[in-house]
Chain A
Amino acid sequence: MPHASPIVEKALDTLSDVSNGKLDLSWMNSNPKGWGVKATPRDERGLGLEDINRVGNYGIVPEGGSIYGSMAPRGAEIPDDMPSLGCYDINDKSLVWADNVAHLYDEAVARQWSSARDIPWGELKPQREDLEKAMCQVCTNLAEIEFVAGDMPAKWLWHINHDFHEVKLFLASQIFDEARHMEVFRKRALANGGGLLRSSPDSENLLRVILEAPNFTTGSALMHILGEGFVLTLFRNGEMFALGPVEKKMFRLCMQDEARHVAYGTMHLKYFLEKHPERESEIHDILQRGEEATFSLNQTQDTIEARAILMGGGLDHIEEGFKKLGYLFKKQIHEYLYRLKMAGIDRTNRMAIPVELPI
Chain B
Amino acid sequence: MTKGLSKEFFEELAARANANPDLFRRLGTADMTLVVKVDYADKSDYYELVFAGYQCKGVSQLKSIADAAKGAVVISGPYSAWREMIENIVVNGHADLEHTLNTLTLMDTPLKVEADNQLDADLFYRYQQNLQEFFDGAGRADSSAQTATVQ
Binding site for B on A (CB under 8 A): 43-45, 103, 106-107, 110-112, 232, 236-237, 239-240, 242, 244-245, 248, 252-253, 255-256, 258-260, 262-263, 266-267, 327, 335, 338-339, 341-342
**Chain B 89-115 residues near chain A, CB threshold 8 A:** 97, 100, 102-103, 106-107
Query: How far apart are the CA atoms of A319 and B105 in the complex, in Å?
Result: 22
CA of A255 to CA of B121, assembled, Å: 13
**Interchain CB contact under 8 A, B118 and A252:** no
Q: Is the CB of B102 within 8 A of A107?
A: no
Residues from 133 to 147 in B contacting A, C-beta threshold 8 Å? none
Residue of B with least CB distance to A255: B125
- Taking A43-B53, A242-B97, A256-B127 as given, write out 4 further A-B residue pairs in contact, using a Cβ cutoff of 8 Å, ordered by the A residue number: A111-B29, A112-B28, A245-B97, A338-B121
A237 to B103, CA, bound (A): 8
Give complex CA distance A43, B97 in Å: 34
Q: A44-B55, A106-B29, A107-B29 are in contact. Are A236 and B129 (CB under 8 A)?
A: no
CB–CB A239/B106 < 8 A: yes
Q: How far is the CA of A258 from the CA of B54 in the complex (A)?
A: 20
Which residues of chain B have C-beta atoms less than 8 A from A256's C-beta?
A: 125-129
Is B27 interfacial (CB-CB < 8 Å)? yes
B119 engages A267 (CB within 8 Å): yes
Report if A44-B54 is in contact (Cβ < 8 Å); known contacts: A252-B102, A252-B128.
Answer: yes
Q: Is the interface of A mostly helix, strand, loop or mixed?
A: helix
Min distance, Cβ A87 to any Cβ of chain B, angstroms: 33
Contact (Cβ within 8 A) A266 B119: yes
A259–B127 CA distance with the chains assembled, in angstroms: 9
Contact with B122, one of A240, A244, A253, A259 (Cβ below 8 angstroms): A259
Residues of B within 8 A of A239 (CB): 97, 100, 102-103, 106
**What total of chain B residues lie within 8 Å of the partner, measured CB to CB?**
26
B117 close to chain A: CB less than 8 A: yes
Closest-CB distance, A296 to chain B (whole angstroms): 24
Quick check: is B19 within 8 A (CB to CB) of the other chain?
no
**Once the chains bind, are B119 and A342 in contact (CB under 8 Å)?**
yes
Roughly how many angstroms separate A258 CA and B125 CA in the complex, as a whole number?
9
**Which of B102, B107, B117 interacts with A327 by CB under 8 Å?**
B107
Residues of A within 8 A of B129 (CB): 252-253, 256
Q: Which of B17-33 contact A (CB under 8 A)?
A: 27-29, 31
Per the bound structure, the CA–CA distance linking A253 and B125 in Å amounts to 9
Query: With A44-B53, A239-B103, A239-B106 in contact, do A342 and B28 touch (Cβ < 8 Å)?
Result: no
Give the docked Cα–Cα distance between A342 and B54 (Å).
28
Closest residue of chain A to B116 (Cβ to Cβ) is A342
Interface: B52 (CB within 8 A): yes
B29, B53, B125: which contacts A259 (Cβ < 8 A)?
Answer: B125
From A236, A255, A342, B117 is in contact (CB under 8 Å) with A342
- 12 A-B residue pairs with Cβ-Cβ distance under 8 Å, sorted by A, are A44-B55, A45-B54, A107-B28, A107-B29, A107-B126, A239-B97, A239-B100, A252-B132, A253-B129, A258-B125, A260-B126, A263-B122
Whether A248 lies near B127 (C-beta < 8 A) is no
Q: Which of B53, B118, B132 has the most CB of A within 10 A?
A: B118
